Every structure is written in C-alpha cells, then in structure tokens.
Structure 1
Amino acid sequence: MAEPGAVARLEEDLTCPICLGIYSNPVSLSCGHSFCKECIQEAHSHQHCRQGPFRCPVCYAQADPTMELQPNIQLRSIVQKFLDAPTHQEEEKREVQCEEKGENSGQQDEVILCDFCLQEPQPATKTCLGCEASLCQAHLSKHSMKSPLKYHVLVEPCDAQLLAERRCPQHGKLLECYCKTDSVCICVLCCVTSSHKNHKITTLEEAFGQAQGVFPETLKAVKAHEAALYQSIENLLKQKEEVKTKESLCRNRLESLFEEMCLQLDNKKGEVLKALSHNEEQQLFQIQTQIEKHKEGKDAASHDVQELEALRDQKDLLLFTKAFAAIQARKRKPVPMKAVVGLPTPPIIVDELTTDTTLRLFRQFLSDMQSLFKAPPVHEHLTSSMYRGGGFAYSNNTIFASSSNTLKFGVSKTLSAIPHMESDQSFSEGCHFWEVDTSHARCWKLGIVHPNFECYLQMSHDYLRVFLGQTVITEKDFCTALKVVRVELDCRRNTLSFYNASVKDGDPAESLRLIERVSIPSNYPVHATFSLSHGSLKLL
C-alpha cells in the first residue's frame, strides 16, 4: 500500500493547472505543459474574447491550441491507474463526507472566488494587486513559483471595488504612501507631481506602525465618546418620556378643567333659564288673573245691557223706575285706557349693553386664562442697585435697612419722599414677576416706580395698603404676617398684581392668593422698587 505522502505528491503531478482536478482526457501543448482538453479549449475561448495571441497558462509561451493539441496517451494511462487505486478511492470518500458536513453546517459565508478556476471556482486565499486577480491556494502556489510574479503584492481576498480603492484615482497607481499633512493615502506619483509634493510623506508601513502605537489610546477615546453619546441618548429618551408624561398629565388636567368650566357654565345657564321661566310664569299668571277679572266685569256689563234692552219696552212707571234704579246702583270700576299689569322685576336684563358687557368680560376672562397657561418669566435675572439717598445695603439678593434708617410710611407727596431701591433692569413689554421674602421685615413696600408715578403694596403697623401715586386703592387689616409676596407686572394689559405667595405646598390654586390688581398708566419703562424700615427683604 502506498504511503499517503507519495500519493499526495503523485496526485499533485496529475493535477490540471487550470481546473486543479485530476487530468481528464489530457492533452499537451508544444511547450510541454499538459491540461484537460476541455479546460485548455475553454481557456482559449476566454483568451480569444480578450483579443490577442493565446499563451500557455503556465509558462505564458505563445501557442495555438487548435493546431497543437496532442493527446497525451501515456499521461492518460497513468491517470486511469491512479483513479483505480484503492487509496485514491478512500480519499475521495473522505472528501465527499467532509463536503457534506460543510454543507450541513449552514455556514456558507460569502467568499471571494479564484479568477483562474474555470469549471468550479474555489475560494480565493489571496488577491494579487499586480495582477488584479484573486487566487485560490493551488493557483497561488503556481503564481509564487514564477519569478516575474513572486514580487507582486499579495493581500487578503477582496473584490473589484476594494481593488479599485487601492489605486490612486488620479494616476491609477497603487496607494503605497501616506500624506501626514492631509491624512490620506497616496501613490508615488502624487508625492512628486500633485499637490502633495511639498507635504510630509511616509510609507504605508511607517504609517501603519504609528497608527498601531496610538490605536489603544484612540480606541479608548472613541469608546468614551461612544459611551457619552449613549448616555446623552439615554438622557434624551428619558426627557422624551418625561415630556410625554407631562403633556399627558397637562392634557388630562386641561380636559378636566374645561369639563368643569363647561359644567359650571351649563349649570349657570340652567339657573338663569330657570329663573327666566319662573319670572315668565309669574308675569303670565298675574296677566291671566287680570284677564279673568276683566272677563267677569265684561259678563256683568253684558247682563246689564240685556236688562236695560228689556227694560226699554216697560210701560209701568213703578216697575221701570224700580228696575232701572237697581241696575244703575250696581258698582262699575273705571276701565283704564290701556290695561297694564304691574309685573315683577325680571331677574336678568338682557339688552345690547348687557350683552356687550358680558362678552367683553368673557373675552377678558379668556385672555387672563391664556396668560395663566403661559409659563411665567424667570425672575432670577432681576438685580437691584442703590437708589441715591437711600439708606440700604444690598448683598446676595438681600436688602438690609441701616440701623439709622427710620422711615415713616404713608402717602408720599413726592416720589423721593421715602428712600427706596430700584432694580437695574427695566420693564417695557411682556409679562414679568418677582417674589420677595418679607418675613424678616415689619414695615416695607414693594412695587414699581416711574418718573411720573409709582404703584406699590405697603405693610405698616398690621395694615396692608395698595397705592397708585398718592391714591389709596385698598386698605386691609392684615394681622398675619406675609411671608412671601409675589409682584406681577403685565405690560400688555397695563396691570400690576400683588399676591400672597406664602403657601407653597398643597393645592396650586391656593398657593397664590390675589391681594389686589391695579390698572397702571401705560408709561414705560418702569423699575422694580423696594423699601423697608427695619430688618431685610430677600429677592427669591
């Protein structure tokens, strides 16, 4: 029995260079190389399509297969004896079993096929950049044995697109250099003829080595960047869900609010219509009562007319006089020229003036409600500065009254009668608010000031007063100290509102309690104003 190594060497000698299988009907060219007859004929047809003389696929000697194909009878006999050998038959069985296992494994990855295999192309193991062809292991061995081809550059198998990317699009040469200036791969001609001529150039090997040196650090930085992006995406997704949740909650609240408003409006409509119906019933009842009384009088008058008509023909003096006196003695109430019943006052007067006033108030209500729905402007930007002549100190958003400052609050005849501080920021348009902690002051005032007027809320001796210039708008006995006061300026409607914002927890509707809303002159810009007698005011 032959040794496996000898059988393998013999099989290699009996292998066709084209199909890489055992010779089938072997023929020889004039150069001495043998091929399967079908393989060399197919190779000739391929070469004929490319135009040019046919050359031996092994030695590249020029030949004409149509004239020189000679059957190699001796080689055919050797092949037949090799195929009939038991060792070869066992080897074929093992190959078939291996192929079946490979097919059943289901791992049929996309591979680059050999460009020299004609019948059944085998997977390529390398791609030659010089020949621009992919080679299987068998054809690669033949390729490497040829001295003109052994110095060609071999790379991992790649397709035509990747091969094109390895060549310079301008010169068609292989990309063998690296331009550090532009961070691109270039060919040799680019180094001396193109815009890269004066750049810092290095070989691909050097660039590869330098890249390998910084690769771990770059990978770490890219991974950190990836993690940061992932975290940012997570935060944005979380924010997205929060927006959806808040929007759903806001929508539900708005639906409940408008349902409640519609319910109360329907209830009010029902009450008003019911009152109108009741008033109508009362009026109709009184009119009907008068109609019944007038009908009774009319019937009595009709009866008197009938008696008088009958009495006209009475000739007996006694009977005529007696009957006429009885009819004449009956009481008859005078009938007014125009019968009118005194009706009760209607509960609601719906005339043109009432309708216009109601619609105006309703539009104002809708406008105010829309303002409530808008996000209030921020107040952290509000800053204060010392007013000339004021005895105050300012630090960390807190206004302090000096120990020598004894202010007397009340109606001031001039704007400078009471020292005060003003905000650096002025307000001319839009909606603004600021909140002030007044829990550490007993006598204070908050509001706005303009060279021509001032409007403020003043706390003094447990009395809460709102001033517009020298006019007291409201005055209340307010024993409970105000902890937080909210001042809202609406330049669109020319209003200044003061709220008790002391309640911060619980029902949001109860957290702001309106103290007073004042219509102010449309003179702008205005500044926020602060003043106190003792203690401190803190801008929140």
Structure 2
Amino acid sequence: MELLEEDLTCPICCSLFEDPRVLPCSHSFCRKCLEGILEGNRSQSWRPSFKCPTCRKETLNTGTNSLQVNYSLRGIVEKYNRIRTMSTMSVCRQHSGQPLNIFCATDLKLICGFCATEDHKGHTFCALEDAYQQEKAAFEELFQVFKNWRRTDIMSCLESLETSKKKSLELVSKDARKVNAYFDQLISTLDQKKNEILSDFETMKLMVMQAYDPEINKLSAVLEEQRLALSIAESFRGASDPLRFLQQMQEFRGKLSAIQETPLPAPTNVTVGHLVKKFDVKNWDTVKLGDVDKLAAPHEFSAGGSARPRHFRWLWGLSIFVCFFLSAVLFLESETLSFLSTNISAVYHFLRPLVDETNYAVVCWTKVSSVCLFLFEMCQTCLFNLFSSTLD
C-alpha cells in the first residue's frame, strides 16, 4: 500500500492526485497544481510555453482545460481511497473480518453484511451517509436533553452530600483532637509518675550508700592498717641489730593488738528489697489507663509515708539511748566514774558476745522477714490469678 501510494502521489503537492491531467511528455499532475504554474507564467506574456516540473520539457500554454484527463490514474486513485477507507473501518465482533458498512435503522446500530441476512433479517437498512445525517440530528436533540437531565436534583444532592461530608469530617477531627489531648495528658501523667518513682529509687540508692559506705570504709581502713603492719614486719624481719629488732617488734605488736581489738562491723541489711519487688512491670499490666497516676511510689509503701529502712530506725533509737546514757554519766560521782573506767574493759568483754549474738539475730530475722514477705506476695498473686480465671 505504501509503494502504491507513492505512485499515486503528485510530485508538486505531494498528495494523492486530484483531477489528474497528463502532459504531452506523459507526466501527470493535479489540475490545481498546473493552474498554479500557469498563473506564475502569466506575467511573462512573451513565453507561450511552460516546462514540465519533472523532465523540464516545454509544453505550449493553451490552458489546463485543453490538457487530457488521465482517467486511468483517476480511477486508480478512487479505488485506492475506497480500499484505504475499508481498511480503517471497524469490523464486526460476531463475524471476524467483516466491515461494519450497514446501518440498521430498526436497532440503530452498525452491522455487517452477514448480520443483515441473519440476526437483522427483515429490518430497515440505510446507507451510512443517510444514517450519519439522521443520527447527527438525533444527537443534537439527545445532547440537549441529557445536558439538562436532572441537573437541579443532582446539584441539590451533591450539595447535601458535601454538607454532610463537612459535618462528618468536623466530628472526626473533634474526636481526633480529644484523643490527642487525652494521650498528651496520659503521656504527661506517665512522665510525672516515672520521674516520681525513679526519684524514690535514687533516694533508696542514697540510703543504701549511706548505710554501707561507712562500714565499707571502716573495713578498708582495717585492711590498710593490716597492710602497714605487714610492711613493718617485712622491713625488720631480717634485721640483725637486736635493739632495732626489739623496737620494731614492739611497734608491730602494738599495731597487731590494735587491729585485733578493732571490732568488725555487723552485716548491714537495708530493707529496700521488698519495695523494689512491688515494681514488677508484670503487676502493672492490669492497671487501667486512667489509674496510672494512682500507681504507688516506693515511699508510699512504708507506714510512716517514707521508705526509711529499719536499720536507720535502730540507729535512731540507739542514738537516743546513748544521749540518755551520757547525760546520766555527767551526774555520776567521781568514784563511780573511776570504777566504770577501771572495769569498762571487763564490761566490754562481757557484753561483746551478747552484742554479736544480737546482731546475728537481727540479720536472721531480717532474712526470715524477707522470705515471709516474698511468700505472701506469691500467695497474693496466685489468689488474684485464680479469681481472675474464675470471673473469666
């Protein structure tokens, strides 16, 4: 088709031939193209001829009407146009390859030749050009009807939907703001409770350090004294001078005696372990969001509103006793004081075992109390789980 179209194209306008005229040299051109050439030569009246655009052979200028019509070429161009129109025409879906070249006026649809003899047998048919004119008029009427079809109702319904949509979005946005404010407040409450609980733990850390650090420092001092005594012993161990050896031996015995007489501090047990156990996160899983601010801090578990360890209460009582004892000593007579100072060592050696036993008993009682408290919490958790399972 493309090669054929090249042969059917005018060399001047490069379009398909339209009313082709043949020159004496056998070259064909469109009539309008030749008229344009002759019109350009009219200003040159002294030239009675014009040249062929293809071969440049001169031809007498007698007008385009005197030129012979190329009927064969015009027929070929017309057939080519019909074939090209047929190739671009839609084909029937029911009969593959058949062009839709018939219009059924009964069903108002395009059909092929097979459809006209089968499904549309007995219907009224018309040419495509006539159908085009009829449907064009029908289209304008249908277009105007459809353009105004229920437009007012649709606009009213659309406006109603837009209003409802706006109200719904406002309600959703309002609820979203409430949720945002609620969680902001909840986060603020959680941060406050977190800071409160961590502050209590920092307080307990400070209390533990205050309870243990003095005793640790005492033991460290004892170890340092022992190290110095051993250093002295190593320094005169190989001494051959009797005087120097005896002097160093005397100093070594003094330090050894002082170290041996220094009482070891009783084991200190700061009772904060039972408070820490209360803060197991598993116990917080059942807390409602609104009750987060009701979570108990460590200082809220003690009866007096603070988590002061029992060891500090013992020290407080002991301090009061020492104050009363010293006050009473001030009013004693000199002979009584002399008697006490003379026998204080004996009293100390007599009370030393009792004090050690008392300290040991306190440690044992503290451990027993911790175990009992742990068992009580385990029983409480088991009962709570049992009741929860029963309710479920």
TM-score, L = length of structure 2 = 0.35
TM-score, L = length of structure 1 = 0.27
Q: Larger C-alpha radius of gyration, 1 or 2?
A: 2
Q: Is the strand fraction higher in 1 or 2? A: 1
